[in-house]
Structure 1
């Protein structure tokens, strides 16, 4: 299955990989600015946005994106990932498809902290009770920083609720596989970004990953929560343009 994707602009390719609390719509505030200089490719992973949650065999998000890139004739690209999307970016980089990385509030091989465990537990309880709006609201309160505008909160709630609906409707539920990663073997420039208002687990993940990647550089945003691309879109657009 080919996942949903879109292209914008022309130039060197840049692939935007969304958080697993959102979909490709989280990049609305960056696409136009990036497309003035780059060929921007956005995707919806399975179970998000406009891609259904189904698979006839065990699948990989990274393999899905690699299939899209191969179909577009893209051999290497700058990969920008947010949260769960950073895992996809790292798997693609390990496969030799990245010439540089931007990893926003990444996940990494760090033991979960009590705050993220509490979030996951409460989210699971609300979903088990069928309260999708409550679970989406919890995500908004937990992941967005204190300066996020109302529009960002509404947008995230809508994207998260849509993902819940797609994934809960899946029958049977697809099996997803991940490739074991060795960040120390990923030798491309990597900017690791984290928000000071994020959960402690993500802060630890970012610091750990920046230290493991041979060309990793850490930037901490004092105003941001977990999804700075939604919280201050123009500022993250400038950050990406400056780095890329």
Structure 2
């Protein structure tokens, strides 16, 4: 296994899949809380952190499968944030017998057509390439990062983004990610795992539209964390960890604002 990973704690396994632009360090405030009750596996996705660069078209879903097989884990709970939530959802659809429970944190979704507002934001960010400092500045100036950038986590998030962007422009040889077909948006009603969808209140309108699609998942609960933006894994780590723990252990969620469907 060439991906960098860490294992902390004992108990039933929870695998954490980070978002784009950062690496597994983003979980550093949540892992200590979760590791009190579970075996927590974090890893750097391909091209991030201490894992190898993207050198050819890559399936992040298959990378995850190979990691679980390497660790001898036949059935796990997946926790995915943003694009990591997209990976977790696609994995759950591709390998349903391997997923006990699914937790998605402000996830993206394969097959979803994003709004003009979001598309314009991404276009303006990408236009700054290959100026890494400008790319990071524009990325984190997005409205969905306002709470994090006004918090003590500002420097840490910027550091991870700089590290990620530097690797992209100095080491990556491929930018193509391969996703399963058909896209998840067409198959959400076939997810059999119990699912928890969590988002903050400072988000793109697209996130609320994605949440609407996830209502098609048969066994799903929704939670909203007030005052949290897209990087809720940094600013609301303890609250998130408690919410996930209670969900996984089958307890009633008392930490977020649950909206059961």
TM-score, normalised to structure 2, is 0.86
Query: Does the alignment pair 1:113 with 2:115?
Result: yes
CA RMSD of aligned residues (A): 1.8
Q: Counterpart in 1 of 2:105? A: 104
Q: Secondary structure at the match of 2:239?
A: helix
Moved more, 3-12 or 227-236: 227-236
Q: For 1:96-141, what per-residue CA distance to the aligned partner results, in whole angstroms no more than 9, with x for missing partners? A: 22110110001123321122112201110112xx321222122223
Give the paired residue count: 240
Q: Counterpart in 2 of 1:207? A: 212
CA distance in 1 between counterparts of 2:232 and 2:35 reads: 19
Q: Counterpart in 2 of 1:187? A: 192
CA distance in 2 between counterparts of 1:164 and 1:147 reads: 19
Compared CA separation, residues 40 and 174, structure 1 to 2 (3 A): same
Matches within 5 A, 1:167-186: 167-170=168-171, 172-173=173-174, 175-180=176-181, 181=184, 182-186=187-191
Q: Counterpart in 2 of 1:216? A: 220
CA distance in 2 between counterparts of 1:71 and 1:233 reads: 28
Compared CA separation, residues 80 and 155, structure 1 to 2 (3 A): same
Q: Counterpart in 1 of 2:258? A: none
Compared CA separation, residues 104 and 168, structure 1 to 2 (3 A): same
Q: Counterpart in 2 of 1:72? A: 71
Q: For 1:66-122, what per-residue CA distance to the aligned partner results, in whole angstroms no more than 9, with x for missing partners? A: 111111110111100000001111122121221101100011233211221122011
Unmatched tracts of structure 1, length 5 or more: none
Unmatched tracts of structure 2, length 5 or more: 249-261
Q: Secondary structure at the match of 1:192?
A: strand
